[in-house]
Each structure stands twice: as structure tokens, then as C-alpha cells.
A = this chain, B = another copy of it.
Amino acid sequence: MKKITILLLAFLGLQICISAQATDEDALAIREIYDVVLSQGDCYETLEYLTKEVGGRLSGSPGAAAAVDYGQQKFETMGFDSVWLQPCMVPHWERGDKEIIKIVSSNMIGTQALNGVALGGSGSSGDVGVAAEVIEVKSLDELKSLGAAKVRGKIVFYNRPMDPLQISTFAAYGGAVDQRVYGPQTAMEYGAVATLVRSMTTRLDDVPHSGVTVFEDREKTIPAIAISTNDAELLSGLLKKEPVRVYVRTTAHWMPDKLSYNVIGEIKGSTHPDEIILVGGHLDSWDLNEGAHDDGAGCVQALEVVHVFNTLKKRPNRTLRCVWFMNEENGQAGAKEYANWSNELGEKHIAAIESDRGGFTPRGFTTEADESVYKIHLKKAKSWENLLSPYGLTIKTGGSGADVTRLKPQKGLLFGLAPDSQRYFDYHHATNDTFDKVNKRELELGAGAMSALVYLLDKYGM
């Protein structure tokens, strides 16, 4: 018994020794990764090109085609074993002429222009535009309770703000965005002739924020306009005093679906080629901005992981794949195509990391997985927290990313890079999501976080 105990203690001691040694080695390796990213990083310059030279890149637009072309060229320089474009048919919506939104009758003021942009997927007002009385609601339920009789012929104005009391702005967004996504269709069903939606931001300013709205039938749409929060406040204030008529002109329209592509690069794993680790972001953006935080940042951070492995002359044990997904913003055609293709091949993504919450200082990763494996995967990932905490990172439950979540059936662990969320909705889908809003160090630290996590996943598997 005593002998067994001693043996057991010796064995445990050895385990602890090995484990401590691995930890030291890992700590040094992660430090080295951050050193590369922070002193020889490539992602800020890549982002500058993607935002300043390529610019806005809404699915189906010439900008998106240019982005695919640039992506392929860039990937070809990164030392992948193979680079390819994966075709997918994407929806193609066009904004048309610059929108006109005006208050045309009110005792308070004369004709007053409002800052507004058509929502992606919304319909045209026709060339002459549409003018109607505005009716303000705070929710879809409120609209429904008013009933068709009160809504018919009106412009419905959804004006429930994002809740400023949420600490996570993503939670606040989640609590308000139904107005933008589903509000216009519902308003149309109740007879509205157009929709105004308060922009999805906690800031009070003059910048309207676009984003997707969903009409069940592309042939049956009405104008749907996001107006700035300042203008939403103005309009709401006027409506408390008197009826207000607003004029809306938008020539937004659908075009036939268009061929586009995911950009994919792969380095085959040296020892476990069948175990895939994916890093990615989405290449498409809205049309009115440079798509800097959303999601140029995520694309270049994902690619930086490869740059880090190259710079450190480290060939991954497992297959490392970088994907710039097409069409996250309004359809996720790229994500669907990728997941279908991968599932059909019987591939196994042991992990996939998406960065799509802006290039701000990272606070860690949120995770999800198929229920049957999540607990055990999460435990393993959380065992790395001590290695990541010097860089301000934690690993938590809470979703991954719109593109990689479709890989859940492959039973790997799916991660979303979780940066500080406070400024994201200052810029989200708005004209001001430009390169200058991205801080180089914050961007690089996100790339460092992803690279460190890939290092651990590559070494220890999942």
C-alpha cells in the first residue's frame, strides 16, 4: 500500500512537473506570438488597403468583387499550401439614389431634412417618393395592437432605443434590432406605406446606421429608412405636439443574385491534417462605409494568425484554414456554402474562431458547441485561461460568429473573439466605420489573442 502510494505520488509529481514545464513553454510561446504581432504585424497595413483602396464591399457590388480579387492576391503571398475561391450565389441589393427624407408638415418648422439611409433589402418609393403621416411605435407588438385601421396609409416610425443600461452593447443591440429586421415587413402587412427606424446605436448623433431588413418577398416591399438618433428624438418630440407628415424618396431595389466567393487559404497540418482549425472574418461590408471594424478588422486579424506562424517558421500540427466569408451581412450565402461543402466532405473542424465584433481591445473569447460536447470542450479551453490572462483574456460561454456557427454539427469548439464592446455601435453599419476609427494596437492585440488560441488548439487539439 505504502509502495503504491509512493509510486502514485511520484507519478503525480512527474505529471505536475511535465504540466508545469508545458505551461512555461506555452507561456514563452505565447509571449513570442505577441512580440511578432506587436512589432512585425502586418494586419494594420492590410486593413488600410482593404478599407482605403478597396473600400465598401456589399455583396454583389463591384467593391465586393474587388475585395475577393484583393483577398486572393493577398492570400497568395502568405505561404499557404493552397488558396482558392469558393463560389456562392449572393443576394444583390442596391441602394440607388441618395435617399431624401424630409418633414414636410409641422407647425414647428418648415421643410426639415432628416439624416436617413435605406435599410439593406428595403424597397423603392418610386421616383416621386411617398409622403404620409407618421405614427410612432416602440415595438412590433405596439404596432400590432394598433391594428391595420390605424396603420393603413401611414409611415410607421419604430423608435425604441437600444437600452443604455446594458453593460454589453451587443445585448442592447439584441434587444432593439427586431424593429429593424422585422419591423418593416410587419408594418407593410398592416398597410404602412413606408417605415422609419431609429438607428441602432446608443449615441445621440446625426449618423444613420444601415443594416439588413427582411421582407419575405423581394417583389413586395416598402421603403424602410434608418434615421439618425438625433432625428429620431426630433421627430418624436414633434409627434408629441402635433401630427407630422414625412416625405421619403428612395430608389433602393433588388437585382438578380450574383456569383461571388469566399476566399480560403489552407496550410495542411503536419501531424493531424484531418483536424481543421479555422480562423475567419467576413469580407463583405455595407456599402456606405469602408467596413473597417465590420469586418475588415476580423479578416485581417484572422490572416495575421497565418503571418505569425510564418514569421515564427512554425508549421502547424493541425490543418490551419483562414476564410474570408462572403455575404455575412445580408444572407450568409458564403457561410452556408462553406458549411455544406465541409459537411459533405465529412470534414472535422476541431475549432473555428471568428472575429466579427470590431477591432477593439480584446477581452477574451466567447464559445459555443454542440450540446453533446460543449461541457468537456469548454473545460479544456478554460484550462488555458491562466496562459491567456496576462493578455487580459478570458474564455466564456456566449456564441461564436454568424459564419462559423454553422460548423456546430462537426462537434468542435466554436469561438468568437470578444473585444471591448463600448464603441462598436458608434460605427456599426454607418458611414463613419472607417480605417481611422481602428487603433493599431487594439487591432493587433486581437490578432495576438487569436494567434495564441490557435497555438494552443494546434498543440493540444480539442
Seen from chain A, the residues whose Cβ lies within 8 Å of a Cβ on chain B are 34-35, 38-39, 164-165, 167, 169, 202-203, 361, 363, 390-392, 420, 422-423, 426, 439-442, 445
Does the CB pair A34–B440 fall under 8 Å?
Answer: no
Within 8 Å by CB of A165, from B39, B203, B439, lies B39
Name 11 extra pairs, CB < 8 A, besides A169-B441, A361-B420: A34-B167, A38-B164, A167-B391, A167-B392, A202-B441, A203-B440, A363-B392, A420-B420, A422-B442, A423-B439, A423-B441
Complex contacts, A422 vs chain B, CB 8 Å: 361, 439, 441-442, 445
* Contact sample, A vs B, 10 pairs, CB 8 Å cutoff: A34-B165, A35-B165, A164-B441, A203-B440, A361-B361, A361-B420, A361-B422, A363-B392, A422-B441, A426-B439
CA distance A124 to B426 in the complex (A): 44
CA distance A164 to B363 in the complex (A): 19
CA distance A167 to B33 in the complex (A): 12
Complex contacts, A445 vs chain B, CB 8 Å: 167, 422
Sorted nearest first, the 7 A-B pairs with minimum C-beta distance are A422-B441, A38-B164, A422-B442, A361-B420, A361-B422, A35-B165, A38-B165
Complex contacts, A35 vs chain B, CB 8 Å: 165
CA distance A392 to B441 in the complex (A): 20
Complex contacts, A390 vs chain B, CB 8 Å: 167
Complex contacts, A34 vs chain B, CB 8 Å: 165, 167
With both chains docked as a complex, state the minimum distance between the C-beta of A298 and any C-beta of chain B, in angstroms: 18
CA distance A169 to B441 in the complex (A): 10
CA distance A442 to B169 in the complex (A): 11
With both chains docked as a complex, state the minimum distance between the C-beta of A434 and any C-beta of chain B, in angstroms: 15
CA distance A441 to B441 in the complex (A): 21
Closest residue on chain B to residue A425 by CB atoms: B441
With both chains docked as a complex, state the minimum distance between the C-beta of A98 and any C-beta of chain B, in angstroms: 26
With both chains docked as a complex, state the minimum distance between the C-beta of A163 and any C-beta of chain B, in angstroms: 9
Complex contacts, A392 vs chain B, CB 8 Å: 167, 363
CA distance A440 to B229 in the complex (A): 15
With both chains docked as a complex, state the minimum distance between the C-beta of A444 and any C-beta of chain B, in angstroms: 9
Complex contacts, A38 vs chain B, CB 8 Å: 164-165
With both chains docked as a complex, state the minimum distance between the C-beta of A251 and any C-beta of chain B, in angstroms: 34
CA distance A255 to B418 in the complex (A): 51
Which of A169, A202, A392 has the most chain B CB atoms closer than 10 A to its own CB?
A: A392
With both chains docked as a complex, state the minimum distance between the C-beta of A100 and any C-beta of chain B, in angstroms: 29
With both chains docked as a complex, state the minimum distance between the C-beta of A39 and any C-beta of chain B, in angstroms: 6
CA distance A423 to B39 in the complex (A): 17
With both chains docked as a complex, state the minimum distance between the C-beta of A172 and any C-beta of chain B, in angstroms: 10
CA distance A441 to B165 in the complex (A): 10
CA distance A94 to B203 in the complex (A): 38
Closest residue on chain B to residue A442 by CB atoms: B422
CA distance A155 to B39 in the complex (A): 29
CA distance A38 to B169 in the complex (A): 12
Does the CB pair A39–B167 fall under 8 Å?
Answer: no
Complex contacts, A442 vs chain B, CB 8 Å: 422-423
CA distance A126 to B203 in the complex (A): 49
With both chains docked as a complex, state the minimum distance between the C-beta of A336 and any C-beta of chain B, in angstroms: 34
With both chains docked as a complex, state the minimum distance between the C-beta of A420 and any C-beta of chain B, in angstroms: 5
CA distance A391 to B392 in the complex (A): 15
CA distance A363 to B38 in the complex (A): 21
CA distance A392 to B168 in the complex (A): 10
Closest residue on chain B to residue A166 by CB atoms: B38
Closest residue on chain B to residue A164 by CB atoms: B38
With both chains docked as a complex, state the minimum distance between the C-beta of A357 and any C-beta of chain B, in angstroms: 14
Closest residue on chain B to residue A202 by CB atoms: B441
Complex contacts, A439 vs chain B, CB 8 Å: 422-423, 426
With both chains docked as a complex, state the minimum distance between the C-beta of A194 and any C-beta of chain B, in angstroms: 31
Closest residue on chain B to residue A444 by CB atoms: B164
With both chains docked as a complex, state the minimum distance between the C-beta of A201 and any C-beta of chain B, in angstroms: 11
Which of A169, A420, A423 has the most chain B CB atoms closer than 10 A to its own CB?
A: A420
Complex contacts, A39 vs chain B, CB 8 Å: 164-165
Complex contacts, A202 vs chain B, CB 8 Å: 441
